């Protein structure tokens, strides 16, 4: 049988989202490829990540700071701070829902961006931005809702594949910052991964000693993708 070819493209240099003095480039799998649904599970294990309909990994010429990270959920045990986070949010209900746009989701997403990224270009999204960034027609995406009774407090955008779960993005009520909903969402995603008998929760990219990435190192054991394969941090 004729082998199928999947094309890769490298983006033009663009401003790095983590270091103001640097530029970044990504290696992107052809977003028009009809094979994306079939290969997505496998490329997660090779350090790729999804944003909207694009599956990519960093490919910067002079910088290799972004390293793919995942949690082997069978070995994970929450530390004291994480146990407190679980207890603090024990009043929340979790619902796994299909990926879709609703006004309730969008209004919470908008409030989150306004609080987290004021003046940064992301703080005035429209409904198309919501759908274009968080899911696509072929992606195996679920929305994990965190609710206090009927009130929506947070949503963890999660791709559920045969190789594990991928934590794509989380947004939550900025007035509930004291709950630690970002941490709580990851802890519940780890739990769901384990319940489904899957080995890993993929956390995207980790950067050593970067303040935006420090939280990922607290989920131990953490595995990082190196030239020699996945290795413990």
How far apart CA 101 and CA 143 sit, in angstroms, is: 10
Kindly tell me if the per-residue pLDDT of 2 is higher than 70. no
Contacts of 7 (CB under 8 A, 6+ apart): 29, 30, 33
Please tell me the predicted confidence (pLDDT) of residue 173: 98
Which tokens hold the place of 22? 């640097």
- Provide mean pLDDT across the span 7-13: 96
How far apart CA 231 and CA 233 sit, in angstroms, is: 6
Please tell me the predicted confidence (pLDDT) of residue 1: 35
Model confidence pLDDT, tens digit, residues 137-183: 999 999 999 999 999 999 999 999 999 999 999 999 999 999 999 99
- Chain-centroid distance of CA 207 in Å reads 15
Strand partners, 96: 144
DSSP 8-state assignment for residue 196: T
Contacts of 35 (CB under 8 A, 6+ apart): 4, 6
Model confidence pLDDT, tens digit, residues 24-65: 999 999 999 999 999 999 999 999 999 999 999 999 988 999
């Amino acid at each position: 049988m004729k082998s199928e070819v999947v094309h890769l493209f490298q983006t033009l240099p663009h401003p790095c989202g983590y270091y103001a003095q640097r530029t970044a480039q990504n290696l992107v799998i052809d977003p028009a490829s009809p094979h994306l649904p079939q290969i997505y599970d496998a490329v997660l294990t090779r350090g790729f990540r999804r944003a909207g309909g694009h599956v990519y990994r960093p490919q910067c010429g002079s910088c290799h700071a972004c390293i793919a990270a995942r949690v082997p959920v069978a070995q994970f045990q929450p530390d004291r701070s994480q146990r407190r986070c679980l207890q603090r949010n024990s009043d929340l209900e979790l619902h796994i829902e299909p990926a879709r746009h609703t006004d309730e989701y969008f209004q919470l997403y908008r409030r989150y961006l306004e609080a987290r990224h004021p003046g940064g270009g992301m703080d005035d999204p429209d409904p198309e931005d919501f759908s274009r960034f968080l899911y696509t027609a072929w992606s195996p995406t679920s929305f994990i809702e965190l609710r206090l009774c009927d009130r929506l407090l947070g949503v963890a955008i999660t791709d559920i594949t045969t190789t594990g779960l991928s934590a794509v993005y989380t947004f939550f009520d900025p007035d509930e910052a004291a709950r630690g909903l970002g941490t709580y969402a990851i802890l519940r995603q780890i739990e769901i991964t384990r319940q489904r008998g899957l080995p890993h929760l993929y956390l995207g990219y980790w950067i050593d000693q970067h303040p935006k990435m420090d939280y990922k190192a607290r989920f131990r054991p953490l595995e990082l993708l190196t030239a020699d394969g996945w290795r413990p941090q």
